[in-house]
Chains A and B, each alone.
Chain A
C-alpha cells in the first residue's frame, strides 16, 4: 500500500524534515507514527497527501510514485485517502450531514447514494441522530467523529489521521481509537500520527518511531 524507499525531505531553508526514510505498509494494516514534536510525523503525512514532494528517494502509494505525480493527478490520488485532522477542519456553516457528504459531492454521486453512504458513515461513528445538527452544537469528541465520518464516507483505501486525539480526554481518545479500529477491520489501511505513547501502547499495533526525521523504531507497541 505504502512504500518509502530512502525518502528524504529537505526544505528550501535547509531544514531536513525526513532523512532517507524506508519502510513498507501492507494493505489493511493499522499503524502509528510517533515521535516528539518536529520528529517528522506531519512531514510524513504531508508527503502521503502530496501536499509536499520528497526531495530524494521514492515514495509509492497504491503503486503511484508520489515523487513524480503531476499536479493534475493529485486530487484523484487524494480521493483514495481519508484524512482526519486534530482540529477537525469541519465547516461550521454546514450540517453534520453536509460535512460528511463533501467527498461524495466531489465525486459527483447522486443524492440517493450520498444519503445512504453518509448515513452509514454517521452510523459507524454513532452520530446518525445528529445528521441535521451543526458542528457547533456538538461536543469536541462528536466533532472529531464527524471528521472521521467525512474521512471514511468515500471508502478510502487509506485513512490518515494527524493527532486525532490531541484535544480529547483519555476516555474520548480511547473511543475514537475504537472507531479507527472498526474502520480498519473493514479493510482500510489506517496510519495515525500521534505522540500519545500511553494510548498507542494500549492499542498494540505496529508503531514507527521518528526522531529528527529519522526512523529509529519499527515494531509493535508494547505496554
Chain B
C-alpha cells in the first residue's frame, strides 16, 4: 500500500529540489459569476442553434414548412368557422321573436306595444315594422314588386321584432307565450330550429377542429422530436465530451430546446403567412359568391392576436417537442 512518504513528488524522485506544488486555483463562483454564466450559456445556446439552422437552410426550411402546414390546417378551419358564425349573425339576432300583429293594429298601437315589450326585463331590443315598411321591404327582397302593386290592399301585418336578452330554449319559449298573449298580437313566432341547426353544425365543426388540432399537435411533436433526435445523434461526441468536462444535463439540453423553439418560431411565422395568403385567395371566390346573393360578405383575414397566438403556440410546441426528444435520447448517451 502506498503512503505519501513512499511517493514523493516527481521532482524529488528525479533527484531535484522538492518544490511546493502550486495549488490549482479554485473557481468559487459568486452570484454575479453564476448569473453571468447562466446568461452567457443561454446566449451561446441561442447563437449556436441559430447558426446550425442557418447552416442547413434547405433542411430547416422544409422542417418548418411541414410544421407550418400542420399548424395552418386546424387554424385555418377555426378561422373559417369564425367566419361562418359571423355570416350567421350574432346568436341574439338569430333568436329573434317575430310578433305578427292583427291587420287592424295601427302604427300608434304598434309603437305603444313596442314600448311595453322593451320594458320587459328579458328583452334587450324591440323594433316596430309597420305594414307599409313590411310591404316595401318585401317588394324589394322578393322581386315581386310589380305583382304586389296589383293587390287591392296590403296583405302584410305590422311586426314587432323582439330580441331576447339571453338565449335559453325554455326561457325563450316562455317569453314567446307571454308575448303571444299581448293585445293585438296575431302570432308570435320563434324560429329557433335553424339556430339550433347552425349551433349543432358549428359545434360539430368545433369538435372536428379540436380533434384535428390534437392529431396535428401530436404530428408536430413527432416531427420536431425526430428532427431533434437527428441533431442529438449528429452531436453525440460533443454531448459525451461536454458531460465529461462537467456540463450539466441542463447545459446539454439547452441548445436543443432553443433549436426546437426556433423551428416552432419559423413554423408559426410561415403558418401565419400561409393562412393570410390562403384566406386572401379564398376570399376572392367568397366575395364573388356572396355578391350573387346581394351580400357584401367577405372572409376576415387572420387577426393579429390570433396570428400572435399561433406563433407563440408554435414556439411552445417546438420547445415541448424538443424537450421530450432530449429527455428521451439524452439519457441513452453515456456518460450519464
Could you tell me which A residues sit within 8 Å of B by CB distance?
Answer: 22-31, 46, 49-51, 71-72, 74-79, 82-83, 89, 91, 102-103, 105-110, 150, 154-157, 181, 184-188, 204-206, 218-220
Contacts and interface: CB of A to CB of B under 8 A. Distances in A.
A187 B23 contact: yes
Interface of A is mostly: mixed
B1 A106 contact: no
B145 to A, nearest CB: 80
A19 B308 CA distance: 63
Interface of B: 1-4, 6-7, 9-11, 13-14, 19, 21-25, 27, 29, 33-34, 36-38, 40-41, 44, 237-238, 240-249, 251, 334-336
B10 A181 contact: yes
Contact of A103 (B13, B14, B246, B336): B246
B142 to A, nearest CB: 76
Contact of B248 (A50, A75, A105): A75
14 contacts: A28-B21, A49-B335, A50-B335, A51-B334, A51-B335, A51-B336, A106-B41, A106-B245, A107-B246, A157-B24, A185-B19, A187-B22, A205-B13, A218-B2
Contact of A155 (B2, B7, B24, B241): B24
B27 A205 contact: no
A29 B9 contact: yes
A185 to B, nearest CB: 7
Task: Give me the 8 closest cross-chain CB pairs, A-B, nearest first.
Answer: A108-B37, A187-B21, A79-B246, A51-B335, A28-B21, A155-B24, A78-B246, A103-B245
A76 to B, nearest CB: 7
B7 A76 contact: no
Contact of B247 (A23, A75, A185): A75
A219 to B, nearest CB: 8
Nearest to A186: B22
A107 B13 CA distance: 35
A91 B241 contact: yes
A28 B237 CA distance: 30
Contacts of B238: 91
B41 A108 contact: yes
A108 B246 contact: no
Contacts of B22: 186-187
A215 to B, nearest CB: 9
A95 to B, nearest CB: 14
Nearest to B248: A75
B245 A78 contact: yes
Contacts of B251: 75, 106
Nearest to B9: A28
Given A49-B335, A108-B41, A186-B21, A26 B247 contact: no
Given A89-B241, A91-B238, A76 B21 contact: no
A204 B22 CA distance: 22
* Of B4, B24, B36, most A-chain CB atoms within 10 Å: B24
Given A28-B9, A181-B10, A205-B10, A108 B38 contact: yes
Contacts of B36: 108, 110
Contact of B241 (A50, A102, A156): A102
Contacts of A28: 9, 21
B25 A185 contact: no
A213 to B, nearest CB: 17
A107 B247 CA distance: 8
Given A49-B244, A75-B247, A78-B245, A89 B2 contact: no
